[in-house]
C-alpha cells in the first residue's frame, strides 16, 4: 500500500488532471476543428487512428512512465508558455498547423514538468505521431497535390499509350477520345503517400529499429504510392465505372493501399534477408520494476500550481486575438459597371458548389470586348473575413494549371507604373493566354500570395480586419505576347479607380 502511495500520490495526480482538463478546454475549438478536418479529408483520415496507436504505446511504456514521474523541471513551464505563445501566433497568422503544433508543444512542456527530459524521451515517439497527424499548410498541400496530379496523369497516359490506347494529355486532363479523364486533387495520390509514410514509420518502430533499413523502407513507399496511383488512374481510363463514387471506386483505392503495405513488408523482408538482424527488434519496451518507486519531488506541487496559474492566465489570449469582424463590400458587385469607355462587358455566373469551394462572399466574372473585338476577362473574388477561410486566397496559378493550362512563363511585372502584378503565360494545345493577377488587402496592393499570411496577421492584430480581394485579368494571345500584355494594361487603367468604390481600403 505504501508503494502505491508513492507511485500515485493524490495531490500531484489531482493537480495534473486539473491542468490536463484546462489544456483540453483551452484547445477545445482546435481539437474540434482538427477532428472535423481529418474525419472529412481523406488525405488525413489516417489521423483518426493515431490517438489509439499513441494510447497503445503509452500502455506498453506505462511502467517506465510511472518510474519517471514527479521529478519536475522549471523548463517545462517555459515550454508551456512557449506553446501558448505559438497558439496566439497561429491565431494571428491564421495558421491551423501552428495552432495544432502548439498543443504538442504544451503537452511536451507538461511532460517536462512531470518528469524532466527522461519522460520526454520515453514519450518521444508518441509526440512524433501527434505531429504527423497535423494537417500541413493548405498552400503547401495544394502545391504538392498539383505536382502529384501532373505526375500521376503523365504516368497514366504513358501506361495507356504503352498498351495501345492512344490518349492526349493536357495538364491533369487525359483525353481518350470517347471521354475525358480528369485527375483531380482527390486522385493525386497524396493520401496514399501521407498515410503510407505514417504507417511505415509506425511499422519501423515495432519491426525495424535499424536506422538505415528504416530509412529505406520509409523512402521506398513514396515512389511505390505514386506508381500504384498512376496504375489506378490508368485503370479508370480503361474502365470508366471506376471513376464513379461507389464500391468499385473505393475498393480500388483500398486495393492500392493494401498492395503498397504488402510492398513495405516485402522490402523489409528483403532487407532482413540480405542483412539479418543481430538481435530481434524490441516490440515492447518494459522498464525493470523498482522495489520501491521514488515518491514525488518535495516541491512538485509548487511546479504544478505555477503551471495551473500560467495556463489560466494565457488561455484567454488566443481567443481574444481570433476575434475579427467580417468586413462588407462598399457596394455589391451587382452594381459593377459593365460599360466604361469603349469596353462593353457581359457577366457570367458560377454554380453554388463552386462558390462554396472558393469560399468567396461576392464575386464578379465578366468578359469585356473592345470595338476592335479584343476581349479581356475580369474575375474578382472578395472575402470579408479570410480568417474564416483559413487565411488563404485561391491562387490562379494552381487553379489554371489544374485545369489543363501549362505555364510557359511566370514572373512579377509592372502592369502600370507602381502597380506590380503576377504575370503568367499559359498554353493549352494551340491556345495561349496572358494572365495578370494581384491581391488587394485592406488598402494594401500585393502582387502575389506569398506575403498574404504575414499582412493578414499584422492587420488582424493592429486593425482588427481580415478582408481581402483577388483580381485576375486574362486575355488570349492572338498576334504576339506584348500586344496581349499591353491590351490588359490598357484595360486595367480605367478599372483601378472603379475598384476603390467597391473594395474597402
Q: Is the pLDDT of residue 183 over 90?
A: no
Mean pLDDT over residues 245-254, rounded? Answer: 64
Tell me which of 235-239, 416-420, 451-455 is least confident: 235-239
Q: Is residue 268 pLDDT above 80, yes or no?
A: yes
Which run of H or E residues covers position 231? helix 211-238
Q: For the residues 306-324, what does the mean pLDDT come to? A: 79
Q: Cβ–Cβ contacts within 10 Å for residue 26, how many?
A: 22
Phi, psi of 243 (to 5 degrees): -75, -25
Between the alpha carbon of residue 398 and those of residues 147, 243, 454, the distances in Å are 10, 23, 21
Of the given ranges (72-81, 209-218, 271-280, 346-355), which has the lowest mean pLDDT?
A: 271-280
Note the pLDDT tens digit of each residue in 396-428.
Answer: 877 777 666 778 888 999 999 999 999 999 888
Predicted pLDDT at 243: 60
Average pLDDT over residues 131-150: 72
User: 173 Cβ partners below 8 Å, 6+ apart?
Assistant: 153, 180, 181, 182, 183, 403, 404
- The DSSP element (H or E) to which 239 belongs, if any, is none
Q: What percent of the chain has pLDDT over 90?
A: 25
**Roughly how many angstroms between the first and final C-alpha of the chain, as a whole number?**
70
Please write the tens of the pLDDT for every residue from 319-368. 777 677 888 899 999 889 998 888 899 999 887 777 776 778 889 999 99
Residues 183 and 229: their CA atoms lie apart, in Å, by: 11
Note the pLDDT of residue 290.
43
pTM score, two decimals? 0.69
Q: What is the mean pLDDT of the chain?
A: 80
Answer positive or negative: Cα dihedral of 89, 45, 54, 29.
positive
- Pair 221, 214: CB distance under 8 Å: no
Nearest one of 117, 88, 100, 118 to 50, comparing CA atoms = 100
Q: Where are the domains of the chain?
A: 2-137+281-322, 333-499
pLDDT in tens, 273-303: 877 765 444 444 544 444 444 555 556 777 7
Cell of 188: 493525386
User: Cα–Cα distances in Å, from 38 out to 21, 32, 34, 260, 392?
Assistant: 23, 10, 6, 22, 19
d(CA 235, CA 243): 9
Q: 468 has which bridge partners?
A: 383
pLDDT at 2 over 60: no
pLDDT at 180: 62
Spatial separation of the C-alpha atoms in residues 442 and 338, rounded to whole Å: 25
Span 5-62, pLDDT tens digits? 444 567 777 878 888 888 999 999 899 989 988 888 777 888 888 999 999 999 998 8
Report which of 185, 187, 181 is spatially closest to residue 169, judged by C-alpha positions.
181
pLDDT of residue 429: 76
Q: For residue 276, what is its C-alpha cell?
A: 539479418
Q: Judging by beta carbons within 10 Å of its beta carbon (0-12, 13-18, 19+), is residue 28 exposed, middle or buried?
A: exposed
What integer is the mean pLDDT of 72-85?
A: 89
Average pLDDT over residues 136-163: 71
83-87, 197-201, 337-341, 458-462: least confidently modelled range: 458-462
Length of the chain: 505
Q: Is the pLDDT of residue 185 over 60?
A: no
Least trusted range by pLDDT, from 42-56, 74-88, 184-198, 323-337: 184-198
Which of the four pLDDT bands, split at 50, 70 and 90, describes residue 154? Answer: confident
The most confident of the ranges 138-147, 200-209, 360-369, 405-414 is 360-369
Pairwise CA distance, residues 173 & 154, whole Å: 9
Say how far apart CA 441 and CA 453 lie, in whole Å.
Answer: 11
pLDDT at residue number 3: 42
Q: Under DSSP, is residue 444 helix (H, G, I), strand (E, B) or coil?
A: strand
Confidence of residue 369 (pLDDT cuts 50, 70, 90): very high
Write the pLDDT tens digit of every residue in 104-131.
999 999 999 888 888 999 999 999 999 9
Percent of the chain past pLDDT 70, that is, above it, reads: 80
Distance of CA 412 to the CA centre of its chain: 26
Give residue 245's pLDDT.
61
Identify each DSSP E strand in 38-189 by its residue range.
168-170, 173-175, 180-182
**Better pLDDT: 295 or 479:** 479
Residues 6+ apart with CB under 8 A from 42: 186, 191
Task: Out of 247-251, 416-420, 447-451, pick the least confident.
Answer: 247-251
Between vectors from CA 128 to CA 125 and to CA 129, what angle results, nearest 5°?
90
- pLDDT attached to residue 5: 42
Residue-level pLDDT at 392: 62
Amino acid at each position: 500500500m505504501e508503494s502505491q502511495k508513492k507511485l500515485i500520490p493524490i495531490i500531484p495526480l489531482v493537480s495534473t488532471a486539473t491542468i490536463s482538463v484546462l489544456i483540453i478546454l483551452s484547445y477545445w475549438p482546435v481539437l474540434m476543428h482538427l477532428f472535423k478536418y481529418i474525419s472529412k479529408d481523406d488525405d488525413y483520415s489516417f489521423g483518426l487512428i493515431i490517438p489509439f496507436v499513441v494510447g497503445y504505446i503509452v500502455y506498453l511504456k506505462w511502467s517506465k512512465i510511472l518510474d519517471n514521474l514527479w521529478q519536475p523541471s522549471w523548463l517545462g513551464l517555459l515550454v508551456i508558455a512557449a506553446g501558448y505563445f505559438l497558439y496566439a501566433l497561429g491565431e494571428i497568422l491564421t495558421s491551423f498547423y501552428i495552432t495544432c503544433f502548439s498543443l504538442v508543444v504544451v503537452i511536451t512542456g507538461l511532460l517536462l514538468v512531470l518528469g524532466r527530459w527522461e519522460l520526454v524521451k520515453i514519450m518521444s515517439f508518441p509526440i512524433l505521431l501527434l505531429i504527423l497527424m497535423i494537417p500541413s499548410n493548405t498552400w503547401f498541400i495544394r502545391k504538392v497535390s498539383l505536382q502529384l496530379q501532373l505526375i500521376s496523369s503523365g504516368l497514366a497516359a504513358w501506361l495507356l499509350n504503352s498498351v495501345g490506347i492512344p490518349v492526349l494529355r493536357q495538364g491533369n486532363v487525359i483525353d481518350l477520345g470517347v471521354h475525358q479523364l480528369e485527375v483531380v486533387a482527390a486522385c493525386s495520390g497524396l493520401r496514399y503517400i501521407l498515410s503510407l509514410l505514417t504507417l511505415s514509420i509506425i511499422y519501423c518502430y515495432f519491426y525495424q529499429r535499424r536506422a538505415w533499413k528504416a530509412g529505406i523502407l520509409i523512402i521506398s513507399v513514396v515512389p511505390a504510392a505514386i506508381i500504384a496511383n498512376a496504375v489506378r488512374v490508368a485503370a479508370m481510363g480503361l474502365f470508366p465505372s471506376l471513376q464513379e463514387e461507389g464500391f468499385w471506386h473505393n475498393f480500388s483505392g483500398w486495393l492500392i493501399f493494401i498492395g503498397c503495405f504488402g510492398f513495405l513488408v516485402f522490402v523489409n523482408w528483403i532487407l532482413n534477408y540480405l542483412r539479418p538482424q543481430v538481435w530481434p527488434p524490441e516490440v515492447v519496451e518494459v522498464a525493470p520494476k523498482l522495489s520501491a518507486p521514488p515518491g514525488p519531488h518535495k516541491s512538485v506541487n509548487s511546479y504544478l500550481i505555477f503551471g495551473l496559474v500560467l495556463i489560466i492566465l494565457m488561455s484567454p489570449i488566443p481567443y481574444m486575438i481570433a476575434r475579427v469582424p467580417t468586413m462588407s463590400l462598399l457596394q455589391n458587385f451587382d452594381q459593377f459597371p459593365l460599360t466604361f469607355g469603349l469596353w462593353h462587358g457581359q457577366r457570367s455566373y458560377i454554380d453554388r458548389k463552386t462558390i462554396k469551394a472558393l469560399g468567396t462572399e461576392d464575386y464578379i466574372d465578366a468578359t469585356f470586348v473592345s470595338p476592335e473585338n479584343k476581349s479581356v476577362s475580369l474575375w474578382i473574388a472578395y472575402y470579408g473575413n479570410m480568417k474564416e477561410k483559413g487565411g488563404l486566397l485561391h491562387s490562379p496559378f494552381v487553379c489554371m494549371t489544374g485545369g489543363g493550362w501549362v505555364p510557359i512563363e511566370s514572373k512579377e511585372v509592372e502592369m502600370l507604373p507602381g502597380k506590380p502584378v503576377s504575370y503568367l503565360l499559359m498554353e493549352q494545345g494551340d491556345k495561349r493566354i496572358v494572365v495578370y493577377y494581384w491581391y488587394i488587402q485592406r488598402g494594401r496592393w500585393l502582387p502575389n500570395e506569398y506575403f498574404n499570411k504575414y499582412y493578414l496577421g499584422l492587420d488582424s492584430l493592429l486593425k482588427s480586419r481580415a478582408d481581402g480581394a483577388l483580381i485576375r485579368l486574362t486575355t488570349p494571345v492572338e498576334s504576339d505576347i506584348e500586344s496581349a500584355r499591353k491590351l490588359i494594361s490598357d484595360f486595367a487603367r480605367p478599372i483601378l479607380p472603379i475598384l476603390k468604390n467597391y473594395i474597402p481600403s
